Chain A
Amino acid sequence: MVKKHQIRTTVNGEEYDLLVDPKKTLLQLLRENLDLTGTKEGCDEGECGACSVILDGKVVNSCLVLAVEADNAEVTTIEGIHRGEDLHPIQKSFVDSGAVQCGFCTPGMILTTKAMLDEIPDPSEEDIKHYLEGNLCRCTGYSKIIDAVNLAIKHSK
């Protein structure tokens, strides 16, 4: 009989007490228990970045984190970055640049961009490509995504 674990985790500023099965991933916890379906399941093995969330300030693939590891941790998902009624400036930049086509990779792209700008406020084009290399997009071909990131940088100045 597998032992479940009691965890306390903060997601988008809200505290949750949850009883989790060890094999539940953070991605499953977010989508299935908390109904935060903005975080997407793509490959489910750390290749595509669609499930990117920010865990204690660092962008990670939530499919490769166990839910139980989120105990005493802070998680930010795409649902948690808006500013009141307004979109986050990075979200606006993605809209304004037409960097969204099917939209499946977009939450991950935006959270990775946020983690990058929190760490490197003025990244070079090389920095951007290196930082976003773990987020795959199969629609736009990346140039509009990079435009969006550059627009977000411009707005943040």
Chain B
Amino acid sequence: MKNFDYIKPSNLADAISALKEYENAFLFAGGTDLLVGMKNNFLKPQYIIDLKGISNIKSFEYQEGWHFGALTTIRDIEVSETLQQKMPFLCQAASSLGSIQIRNRATIGGNLCNASPAADIATMFLAMDSQIKIISIDNEKVVGLDKFFTGPNSTILNRGEVLTEIIVPKDAEQFKGVYIKFGPRKGMDIGIVNIAVLLDADFESGLCKRIRIALGAVAPTPIRARQAEGLLSGNALGPDSINKAAELASSETDPISDFRASAGYRKELVKTLVVRGINTILASNRNS
């Protein structure tokens, strides 16, 4: 690891001005990606700005939608009884990330800003139609998470900008959902394909009112399968329509081949997982 200076501001304004003042400064949230990158000399910051001294971005609250401070840990989401009641699918995605040791430290803001195409929480937040708040020294803006990622480990964030909040619209609670991380082992792995499905349906008749499908590890960023969503929204959910949507979702992906799986395998897997995701939600809600 290269030498660096450590700065720990106690409020956001100081963090933003430090980021502006020092070139080659990195924001430090949970550190579970940052420190690994620094140890491998893949990242060589001269300054790291620890955000953990800023108390008002560490928790979440409901206020016309859910507002999650960027430094909320993955573990805080996983174990929140309120969230388990309102949006259990979000807790499920949180629970599938890393290990307890990682979840105790890793933050949702860090997960988004690291911009891994396979990020668990990012994929779920994308399905939830989340927005993010970005603050800089003279500006504050809210943008859709679907506009945030620009490629592997890259986002729209410019130097001097800080992601401070993730906003989940209040209607997310109306959905039933599931997160599936597909891989050979449950813990401490990155999914071969990740999928988040949120479904708002009349479970008696099988009518799909709205559906959202987000996919991870099948494109340079987490993506939404918009065409598949469009095919099912407002229509009956039957084996034929679900299979067609699965085919369509697969065609919307652009995976790579790596040591985990080939691109072709990932494309096939998307078909299976779209069907599995929808059927899992149907099976667990038909009788409720």
Contact = CB atoms under 8 A, between A and B. Distances in A.
A32 interface: no
Nearest to B98: A134
Interface string A103-146: 00000000010011000000000000111011110000000000
A42 to B, nearest CB: 12
B6 A44 contact: no
A22 B6 contact: yes
Contacts of B251: none
B142 interface: no
Contacts of B187: 129-130, 133-134
Contact of B99 (A44, A63, A116, A133): A133
Interface string B1-44: 11111101000000000000000000000011001101110000
A41 B75 CA distance: 24
For chain A, give the interface size range.
20 to 34
Interface in B84-116: 95, 98-102, 104-105
Contact of A68 (B6, B38, B100): B6
Nearest to B104: A58
Interface stretch (A11-19, A46-54, A76-84, A89-97): A46-54
> How would you classify the secondary structure of chain A's contact residues: helix, strand, loop or mixed?
mixed
A89 to B, nearest CB: 21
A134 B6 contact: no
Nearest to B79: A119
B226 interface: no
B186 interface: yes
B190 to A, nearest CB: 11
A2 B100 contact: no
Nearest to A68: B6
A133 B36 contact: no
Nearest to B102: A46
B50 interface: yes
Contacts of B4: 2, 22-23
A5 interface: yes
A44 B36 CA distance: 8
Contacts of A58: 75, 104
A46 B36 contact: yes
Interface in B157-200: 186-188
Nearest to B95: A130
Given A25-B35, A60-B101, A130-B95, 15 more contacts: A2-B5, A22-B5, A22-B48, A23-B3, A45-B36, A45-B39, A63-B35, A66-B35, A69-B52, A129-B186, A130-B100, A133-B188, A134-B99, A134-B102, A134-B188
Interface of B: 1-6, 8, 31-32, 35-36, 38-40, 48, 50, 52, 75, 95, 98-102, 104-105, 186-188
